[in-house]
Amino acid sequence: MNTGEEACDYVLNLLPEGAEVHASMSRTLEQIGLTSIIEESGRYQAIRPQLRKLDRVKQNREFRRMGSSPDFMLGSVHAVTMDGQVVVGSGGGSQIGPYASGAGKVIWVVGAQKLVPTLEDALHRLHEYSYPLEDERMQTAVGRSAQLNQILIIQGALFPGRLNMVIVKENLGF
Amino acid sequence: MITQAPNLIFSQLASDEQIDQTVQALKAKNIQALW
């Protein structure tokens, strides 16, 4: 794909009308307009608006269950190695469970600036590029630092078709 | 306040050849990929 707009259209074509869709908090998805379409079009059962209605403390069990096993999970990653390893960093880990096994199908949209030669480069990218930008975003948004508490490394999948990646030749996300 | 400046070397787009190589490597690991 050459543009985020093309990637957005491609992903939307993969989602059946009425499907249960969870979009992770992702600058990439926001940039290409996918987050707003998922949450506001009414064409899908969007998970995040339902999560916002829950009390995270009093309805914690429902909150965890609803967010952990969507039919479709959309998001991005922080690095992809040229030998096919995928690296995702997270503060709270809410996207890591669905990516690893909880979601029925995972669709990542990835800017081509996230491709790196080796796993060592991928971890350097996460720490030296993605984290500082996420930290800046968090400082601006909520006045506190980002935390990089969990790192997921995917180096293969048991079931073909569950993990899907659309690479865009455009600088998208962190 | 930002804690460190991002290392901008990681903001450079991969070449077509590098993307092709990555897509093939992902497919070999059962991760469907395209660009």
Residue where the block lists tokens 């930290």 = A135
Binary contact (A112, B19; C-beta < 8 A): yes
Interface check for B17 against chain A (CB to CB < 8 A): the answer is no
| Beta-bridge mates of residue A46 | A21
Read off the pTM.
Answer: 0.96
- Domain parsing of chain A, residue ranges: 4-168
Tens of pLDDT, residues A8-34: 999 999 999 999 999 999 999 999 999
Closest Cα in chain B to A82: B22
Q: Are A59 and A79 in contact (CB under 8 A)?
A: no
pLDDT digits (tens, 9 = 90+) for B1-35: 556 899 999 999 999 999 999 999 999 999 999 99
User: A133 to chain B: which residues are within 8 Å by CB?
Assistant: 6
Which positions ≥6 away from A163 have C-beta within 8 Å?
Answer: A86, A99, A106, A108, A154, A157, B30, B31, B32
Fold topology of A4-168: Rossmann fold (3.40.50)
Q: Name the pairing type of β-strands A150-154 and A79-81.
A: unpaired
Instruction: State the complex-level ipTM.
Output: 0.94
Would you call A164 and B31 a contact, using CB atoms and an 8 Å cutoff?
yes
